[in-house]
Amino acid sequence: MDSSNAKLVSYTVMDLSTEAELEFFISYWEKYASEYVSLLKTKGLIRWRLNRIWNKEGKFTLSQIYEYRDTEAFKECQALMDKHFEKEEHRKFFSKINVILTTSRAITLLDSDELNLN
């Protein structure tokens, strides 16, 4: 199933205090993303991305985008995320950084991959 079939999308903006914290945060995901995403894909995650926001000069901002097959996949993935972040190694990591999270959830209405483009 490709991303054009995603029905639910979760978009999180992460504002960090410094470039060093941002790099530390990226290193966390470089270490754990394969394991984390593979687990979520077993429950209906279609796609996950970590992005750096580049048009906010002087800011240290990342975003994560999760695309889910459907509502059930979203719910099952949320339960797995809770378990992942409850582990001591992850709680310890997140206790060391100052990050402000802003999350939005959306339902896909139109997708360029599904349009009849010439």
109: tokens are 């209405």
| Residue 3 confidence (pLDDT) above 70 | no
CA–CA separation, 26 and 41 (whole Å)? 21
Confirm or reject CATH 1.10.260.40 for domain 3-108, answering yes or no.
Answer: no
Backbone angles phi, psi at 23, to 5 degrees: -65, -40
Global pTM reads: 0.85
Q: Please, which residues bridge with residue 105 across strands?
A: 10
- Work out the angle at residue 10's Cα, subtended by the Cα atoms of residues 40 and 16, and round it to the nearest 5 degrees: 100
Q: Where are the domains of the chain?
A: 3-108
Q: What is the pLDDT of residue 1?
A: 43
pLDDT tier for residue 101 given thresholds of 50, 70 and 90: very high
Q: What is the pLDDT of residue 32?
A: 93
Asked if 70 contacts 44 with a C-beta cutoff of 8 angstroms, the reply is yes
User: Can you give the length of the chain in residues?
Assistant: 118
